[in-house]
């Protein structure tokens, strides 16, 4: 089967634009929004962003071999090659992505939630790969530009596409659902990530609930039965709902859960297709729920339970997302440095607390961003949890909120000598190199903007 290709005339029709130069019959398969990496034959879309205007680089893209450019009305590059003018290039990118998605014939599974989206995406794609050709969007290309770029890759006609939908303001999930038109929607949880942009977690839930909109009767919702905010909002879903969780009434449910510290966990998973015992190296209750969500999706596509159990045993977290690293120098590192939120940090601290053995427990915890008026309260809550986790050493990183986290740990009974504060991750790395020693268990977690991954990098070099 050939890749999906659109003619210039079809692109103009889909976007409400017009071909102003070049051949209307020219066929386009591949797309780019970055003039620095545009490849010969790709169509360059000139996106206007907060810092750069792609129109300033349209001529450069053509010089690099782009097949043509999509620009806004009146901003045509001087060329005899293909130029399509549209009203809004971002909207045009979205419109073309939706059209390619429809023409591809792929089924789309779309995942949203405050935490665990990427892990759930990876697990779901892995389980579905037991039977289908599967596309998954790279990294966290999950916003109004990243998602369309991902959907344009469906030109290769995979059978299933698994994508994540991100947001930090109301209305964004609605837009993404309208582009992806998913047959299966997955809602993992409602947490406190991006709480600074909302009045409360309930308002976050309302924004996430846009995943329910514009559903067809044949669509399916995979919903977390353990999350009361999800359950209270999902009753009006137009399609069929499959719940997952630890709750008695969950359709896909885990029971007999045994956390084996850093060796992962085991559980018995009950589904409409039967029951299976699963062992996985993934850590913590959060990842168990991610696995249940992926199992529920796989069940909808007829993946055998035995295949799910076999693949679950081989799962590994994505880089910097709860990745367990046993460094040659004797340090065991939980690298969760990709991002952080209060609820996710509390779960990570529970994992550290539950780990058995004589290892010293160390945590390098970065400030959590985008919490608005809730910042102080939530950092203090996490500081108390850090003390309760039995840490032998805490290094807090960031601005005043991180300092409050450290103070709260001290007030909760953690020894002054066991607590350090650093304004930057570079400073935190220096402290860690002085105080971490072979045999330690070290958790590193923080918001992306704090760059706690720098601490991870330094520890990996030091204990190589």
The residue whose two tokens read 């729920």 is 289
**Overall average pLDDT of the 238-249 stretch:** 97
Tell me, yes or no, whether 238 and 173 share the same domain.
yes
Whether residue 329 sits in one domain with residue 229: no
Give the number of domains in the chain. Answer: 3
Q: Identify the residue whose tokens are 């971490």.
A: 436
247 and 122 co-located in one domain:
yes
CATH of the domain at 413: 3.90.190.20
CA 79 to CA 46: how far, in whole Å?
15
The domain boundary, picked from 291, 312, 333, lies at 312
Q: Rounded CA gap, 370 and 447, in Å?
A: 9
Are 147 and 292 in the same domain? yes
Average pLDDT value for the chain? 95
Q: Do 112 and 39 reside in the same domain of the chain?
A: no
**3-state SS string over 269-311?**
EEECCEEEEEEECCCHHHHHHHHHHHHHHHHHCCCCHHHHHHH
> What is the average per-residue pLDDT within 348-369?
92
The pLDDT, as a whole number, for residue 83 is 97
> At residue 319, does pLDDT exceed 90?
no
Nearest CA to 342 out of 381, 304, 316 is that of 381
Range of the domain at 285: 105-312
- The answer on 243 and 138 residing in a single domain is yes
pLDDT in tens, 372-391: 999 999 999 999 999 999 99
> Domain ends where: 312, 347, 376?
312
318: in domain: no
Residue 377, CA distances (Å) to 114, 234, 353, 405 in order: 19, 30, 22, 9
Q: Are residues 220 and 172 in the same domain?
A: yes
Name which of 106-110, 309-313, 344-348, 363-367 the model is least confident about: 344-348
For the stretch 401-451, pLDDT in tens is 999 999 999 999 999 999 999 999 999 999 999 999 999 999 999 999 999
Task: For residues 77 and 192, state if they share a domain.
Answer: no
The closest of 224, 334, 349 to 282, measured between CA atoms, is: 334
Contacts of 317 (CB under 8 A, 6+ apart): 119, 282, 283, 287, 323, 324
> DSSP letter at 116?
-
Instruction: Identify the pLDDT of residue 157.
Output: 97
The answer as to whether 290 is a domain residue is yes
Per-residue confidence (pLDDT) for residue 335, from 0 to 100? 97
Residues 62 and 156 in one domain: no
Instruction: Write down the pLDDT at residue 355.
Output: 87
Q: What is the pLDDT at residue 50?
A: 86
Cα-trace Rg, the chain? 24
The answer, yes or no, to whether residue 140 has pLDDT greater than 80, is no
**Is 53's pLDDT higher than 80?**
yes
Does 173 fall in a domain?
A: yes
For position 233, which CATH number holds?
A: 3.40.1190.10
Domain-terminating residue out of 287, 312, 337:
312
Is 343 part of any domain? yes
Q: Is residue 99 part of a domain?
A: no
User: Do the domain assignments include residue 448?
Assistant: yes
Q: List the one residue out of 391, 383, 388, 386 whose CA is nearest residue 408.
A: 383
On whether both 83 and 123 belong to a single domain, the answer is no
Residue 238 maps to a domain: yes
Summarize pLDDT for 202-243 with one digit per residue, the tens: 999 999 999 999 999 999 999 999 999 999 999 989 999 999
Q: Are 64 and 129 found together in one domain?
A: no
* Beta-ladder partners of 421: 396
Q: pTM here?
A: 0.92
Q: Quick one: 49 and 138 in the same domain?
A: no
Q: Is residue 259 part of a domain?
A: yes
Q: Does pLDDT of 193 surpass 80?
A: no
Sign of CA dihedral 318, 321, 324, 326: positive
Q: How far apart are CA 386 and CA 283, in angstroms?
A: 18
């Amino acid at each position: 089967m050939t890749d999906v290709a659109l003619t210039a005339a079809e692109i103009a029709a889909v976007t409400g634009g017009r071909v102003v130069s070049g051949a209307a019959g020219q066929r386009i398969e591949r797309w780019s929004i970055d003039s620095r990496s545009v490849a010969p034959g790709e169509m360059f879309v000139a996106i206007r962003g907060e810092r750069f205007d792609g129109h300033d680089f349209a001529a450069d893209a053509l010089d690099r071999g782009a097949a043509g450019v999509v620009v806004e009305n009146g901003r045509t590059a001087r060329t005899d090659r293909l130029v399509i003018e549209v009203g809004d290039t971002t909207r045009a990118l979205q419109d073309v992505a939706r059209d390619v998605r429809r023409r591809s014939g792929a089924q789309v599974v779309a995942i949203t939630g405050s935490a665990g989206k990427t892990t759930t995406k990876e697990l779901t794609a892995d389980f579905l790969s037991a039977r289908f050709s599967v596309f998954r969007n790279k990294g966290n290309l999950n916003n109004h530009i990243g998602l369309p770029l991902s959907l344009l890759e469906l030109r290769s006609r995979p059978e299933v596409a698994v994508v994540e939908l991100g947001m930090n303001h109301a209305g964004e999930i609605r837009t993404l659902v309208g582009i992806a038109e998913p047959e299966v929607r997955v809602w993992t949880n409602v947490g406190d990530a991006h709480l600074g942009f909302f009045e409360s977690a309930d308002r976050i839930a309302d924004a996430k609930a846009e995943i329910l909109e514009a559903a067809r009767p044949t669509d399916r919702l995979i919903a977390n039965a353990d999350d009361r905010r999800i359950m209270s909002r999902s009753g009006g879903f137009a399609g069929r709902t499959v719940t997952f969780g630890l709750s008695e009434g969950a359709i896909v449910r885990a029971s007999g859960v045994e956390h084996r510290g850093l060796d992962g966990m085991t559980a018995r998973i009950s589904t409409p297709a039967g029951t299976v015992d699963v062992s996985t190296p993934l850590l913590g209750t959060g990842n168990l729920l991610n696995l249940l969500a992926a199992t529920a999706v796989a069940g909808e596509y007829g993946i055998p339970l035995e295949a799910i159990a076999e693949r679950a045993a081989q799962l590994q977290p994505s880089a910097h997302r709860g990745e367990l690293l046993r460094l040659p120098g004797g340090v065991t590192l939980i690298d969760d440095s990709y991002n952080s939120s209060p609820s996710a940090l509390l779960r990570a601290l529970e994992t550290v607390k539950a780990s058995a053995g004589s290892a010293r427990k160390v945590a390098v915890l970065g400030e959590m961003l985008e919490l608005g008026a809730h910042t102080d309260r939530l950092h203090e809550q996490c500081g108390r949890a850090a003390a309760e986790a039995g840490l032998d050493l805490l290094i807090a990183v960031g601005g005043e909120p991180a300092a409050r986290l450290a103070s709260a740990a001290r007030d909760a009974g953690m020894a002054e000598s066991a607590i350090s504060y650093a304004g930057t991750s570079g400073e935190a790395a220096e402290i860690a190199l002085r105080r971490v020693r072979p045999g330690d268990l070290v958790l590193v977690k923080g918001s992306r903007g704090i760059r706690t991954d720098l601490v991870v990098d330094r520890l990996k070099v030091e204990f190589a």
